[in-house]
Copies of this chain bind each other. A is one copy, B any other.
Amino acid sequence: MSVWGNVLITGSNRGVGLGLVKHLLKQNLTQHLFACCRKPDAATDLQQLSVDYPCLHILQLDVSDTSKYCDVKDEVKKVVGEAGLNVLINNAAIFPKPSNFDDVTFEQMTSTYEVNVAAPLMLTKALYPLLKTAASSSSESVMSIRRAAVINVSSKVGSFDVTTSASAYPYRCSKAALNMVTKLLSIEFSESSILVCSVHPGWVQTEMGGPNALISTDESSSSLVNTLSSLTPGHHGGFVNFNGDNILW
């Protein structure tokens, strides 16, 4: 019952990325699962999982190094053949700290944008042929995670609707821009029937979220997998909370 098909997740060696990998494997939701991370040699959790799950492929990828995108595409294609790639989860992201008004630097702004916005867009572009193949060869008649999807892991702190405090300038600005990438790609991919949406993973107890965060990585990842499994064409071009609620831009 590999209902999601072939899936690629960036930044999957820890945090929500690793949580998604675990839940997808345990629920046997994927045919092939490509877990990208910067340093496969140091990704001991992923290595451990790959012993029990032969469908897990660990790929080296620093998303800010666009010169590697073609290699990743080729490696994925070699494994999936004519089935294509059903799901791309753009999860890798950085959150420089401290980055309030007094601390924020030009370099923080630009490096955060490179990883959190430019990379997801360009990686999606690189993998688009594989996503298109999956969407067109699918037996599904409407857009869903089972047909083909690009999921951008965004954050509620990039929402204009809920922004009530001034902090984390590089991160917040990057997530607002990533949401615009989602909006634009959803228009771009309508004809190809590739579902595109932004998701908010919650405020998660990860290295990024810090110790005051509200939910565990396990709770976030488990809810996200359920929510993503339930996406409908109505979510296309939208912004969805980990629990399935819609979020305003």
Residues of A within 8 A of B (CB): 66, 101, 104-106, 109-110, 113-114, 117-119, 121-122, 125, 158, 160-161, 163-167, 169, 172-174, 176-177, 179-181, 183-185, 187-188, 249
Given contacts A118-B106, A160-B179, contact A125 B113 (CB under 8 A): no
CB-contact partner of A180 in B101, B104, B163, B165, under 8 A: B163
Contacts A113-B113, A117-B177, A249-B249 known; 6 new A-B pairs at CB < 8 A: A66-B106, A121-B169, A160-B180, A163-B184, A166-B188, A169-B184
A160–B237 Cα distance when bound, in Å, is 10
**Bound form: Cα–Cα A124–B119 in Å:** 27
Do B122 and A114 have beta carbons less than 8 Å apart? no
Indicate if the CB atoms of B184 and A166 lie closer than 8 Å.
yes
Is A166's CB under 8 angstroms from B187's CB? Answer: yes
* Alpha-carbon gap, A167 to B187, bound state (A): 10
Give Cα A163 to B181, complex, Å.
Answer: 11
Q: A166-B188, A180-B173 are in contact. Are A113 and B109 (CB under 8 A)?
A: yes
Hey, which chain B residues are within 8 Å of A106, CB to CB?
Answer: 66, 114, 118-119, 122
Complex partner residue of A114 from B104, B110, B166, B176, CB under 8 angstroms: B110
Is B110's CB under 8 angstroms from A118's CB?
yes
Kindly list chain B residues whose C-beta atoms are within 8 Å of the C-beta of A113: 109-110, 113, 117-118, 177
- Selected from B163, B176, B249, the residue in CB contact (under 8 A) with A177 is B176
Between A and B, 24 residue pairs with Cβ closer than 8 Å are A66-B106, A101-B185, A104-B121, A104-B122, A106-B119, A109-B118, A109-B121, A110-B113, A113-B113, A113-B117, A113-B118, A117-B173, A121-B173, A160-B179, A160-B249, A161-B249, A163-B183, A163-B184, A169-B181, A172-B180, A173-B177, A176-B176, A176-B180, A177-B177
